[in-house]
Structure 1
Amino acid sequence: MFLISNLSNETRDRVRNFIAGSASGVACTLAGHPFDTLKVRLQTEGTKGRFNGLFHCLTTTIKEEGFLGLYKGATPPMIGMSIINSCMFGAMTIIKSKIHTDTTTPISIPEIMLAGAVTGWVVSLVACPIETVKSKLQVQYFGVKVYNGPIDCIRKTGIKGLYKAFIPTGFQRTSLWAYFGGYEFSVRKLRSEDGTISVGRSFLAGGIAGTCFWCTNFPFDVIRSRIMTQPDVKPGEVPRYSGMIDCAKKIYKIDGLKGFWKGFTPCLLRTFPANGATFVAYEMVIRLLK
């Protein structure tokens, strides 16, 4: 607190956003990881996989792996979401300041949406390898153990493999335009006359932001989940998916258009508590660091 107070206003704002973003990542993981596990498993299995639907996936996971099976792969996102959200909120602050240079007027929602789209590609550099490890661990089913943990997964996947899904991740994260735009629009409508917003309304705005985000990018999320979780290949072997276009073609050939929305229900169930918690934690830490 003392160290932050000695910084210039601009630098202090950036540091506060990085710290608050880190806290929001922890809150997001705790609130939403079980739903994320179900989402990833349904996405990667497709319509003809081992699960008949959301409820079957949930009951099978708990029956075979216990309740903690829903938190499988939680360690990477617990750390990773702290890093990702720290970069996301920090980069968003910097990019907004470059887009809207007039500090005497409030930034417009279109400007916020543009900043969000640019931030999406920046954050993808950090998000892609972290979420690749998370996804690979999430689809280790009962009785099948390819990786002994995050470090072993990183070692076996390799740097190139960790960035195999970078392009679809970039397109997916571009929807931060809807995320931050949706949040700002909601906050401006829900804010009290004195300019403050309650915890409950901040939670609601965060849930709306998350819904806007996922409704505008989910097909790309399915594609990147498939690419991230495809089996590791040895030199000379042909991967299951050669890239984003090849993956999209194969999903459509087997599952049709509905294949690009597999896992959408648990995603929507997750988005309100996870993103509501994200923005509540973020706003609370920002206030504490003022």
Structure 2
Amino acid sequence: MAEDEIEYEGLSSDAGLAVNMAAGALAGITEHAVMFPVDSIKTRMQVFATNQAAVYSGVGNAFARISSTEGMRALWRGVNSVILGAGPAHAVHFGTYEAVKELTGGNRGGNQFMSTSIAGAAATIASDALMNPFDVVKQRMQLHDSEFRSVFKCASTVYKNEGLAAFYISYPTTLTMTVPFTAAQFSVYEYVKRLLNPTNSYSPVTHMVAGGIAGGVAAGLTTPLDVAKTLLQTKGTSTEKDILSARGMIDALRIIYARDGFKGFWRGLTPRVLTFMPSNALCWLSYEFFKAAIRE
């Protein structure tokens, strides 16, 4: 191997916690910032809006109407909250993932499904505790006719009107969603990566393909819980009694079914998958690249 070639093989097992956390932080910021406009459309499509101006028939319809009536900048409203939270949250996420995977034997040869699932679940429990308040602020800012243009103003107003609980009312639902999401994502990623790249050599194409497939599968499977999470995180902006009185995931799921039947659980499926496939591909590509680059 040439001296200037990256010594990639085995990085996952010995890169070190600081390297994994730094790479995870950079990957998280990159992922969320690039795909933020599609995420904004997903949020709007999931909300039960009474104003017909905020009801969209699809991703293309939403993009055209938002950009023409509110301007392209509206699709980026709330991105500062994601950037502030995504770096630390993804640092914790990937640091925890690599540490737990090593501890449970996930770096041994073969497909270690149990290890990667446990590591993925542990990672998301830790990172979501940090990210949840930032996600609440982000979604409040993404809504149609949102009054907020500042992360600090949004956070302080939510705290003043609804208390600290508003930032964590969706946390149990978030965990219920993201634990299986992350377990599925990491398991599929590791499986596809090993399938396409059995030598574990540095392969950006492999990381992109494996990451994209993993993100799409995990996003599709967990969409119903994401709809419930959005309802809980934005309920303070609603004027409808049943939504305002929702106390948790069960209430949210009941409201969704009562209003829209089973199809209500799949609101925003297309933009969610469209967000996670490329963003997850970019996230894993960035993570593996930054990890290798920082090591080098």
Global fold match (TM > 0.5) = yes
SS at match of 2:56: coil
**Aligned equivalent of 2:278:** 273
Structure 1 pair 197–123 and aligned structure 2 pair: CA distance change class (3 A): same
Take 1:190 and 1:68, find their aligned partners in 2: how far apart are those partners?
A: 39
Q: Quick check: 91-100 or 240-249, which moved more?
A: 91-100
Match of 1:133 in 2: 137
d(CA) in 1 for partners of 2:122, 2:87: 20
State the match for 2:190 in structure 1.
184
Question: Which residue is 2:156 aligned to?
Answer: 155
In structure 2, give the amino acid aligned to 1:45. F
The share of aligned pairs that are identical, in percent, is: 24
Aligned residues: 274
Q: Does structure 2 conserve the Cα–Cα contact (< 8 Å) formed by 1:23 and 1:82?
A: yes
Q: String of CA shifts for 1:130-172, please: whole Å, max 9, x gaps.
A: 1111111111x2xx34334111111122222111111101111
Residues 265/10 of structure 1: CA separation in 2 closer, same or farther (3 Å cut): closer
Q: Deviations over 1:207-259 (max 9, x none)?
A: 011112212211111101111011269xxxx9342221111101100101111
Say if 2:13 and 2:98, in contact at 8 Å, map to a contact too: no
Q: 1:83 aligned to 88, 101, 107, which one?
A: 88
Matched, 1:33 2:39: no
CA distance in structure 2 between the partners assigned to 1:62 and 1:240 by the alignment: 33
Report the Cα distance in structure 2 between the residues aligned to 1:243 and 1:74, rounded to whole angstroms: 26
In structure 2, what is the Cα distance between the partners aligned to 1:43 and 1:104? 41
Please, which moves more after superposition, 50-59 or 129-138?
50-59
Aligned amino acid, residue 134 of structure 1: K
Shift, 1:118, TM fit: 2.6
Q: Which amino acid aligns with 1:227?
A: L
Q: Is the 8 A contact 1:46 1:259 kept in 2?
A: no
| Unpaired stretches in structure 1, ≥5 consecutive residues | 1-8
Q: Distance in 2 between matches of 1:272 and 1:67?
A: 22
Alignment of 1:117-128 (within 5 A): 117-128=121-132
Task: Name the CA distance, whole Å, in 2 between partners of 1:52 and 1:41.
Answer: 11
**Residue deviations 1:70-104 (CA, integer Å, cap 9, x gap):** 21211111222222211110111222233229x77
Specify the alignment match of 2:4 in structure 1.
none
CA shift at 1:55, angstroms? 2.2
Following TM superposition, by how much is the alpha carbon of 1:192 offset from its aligned partner in structure 2, in angstroms?
5.7
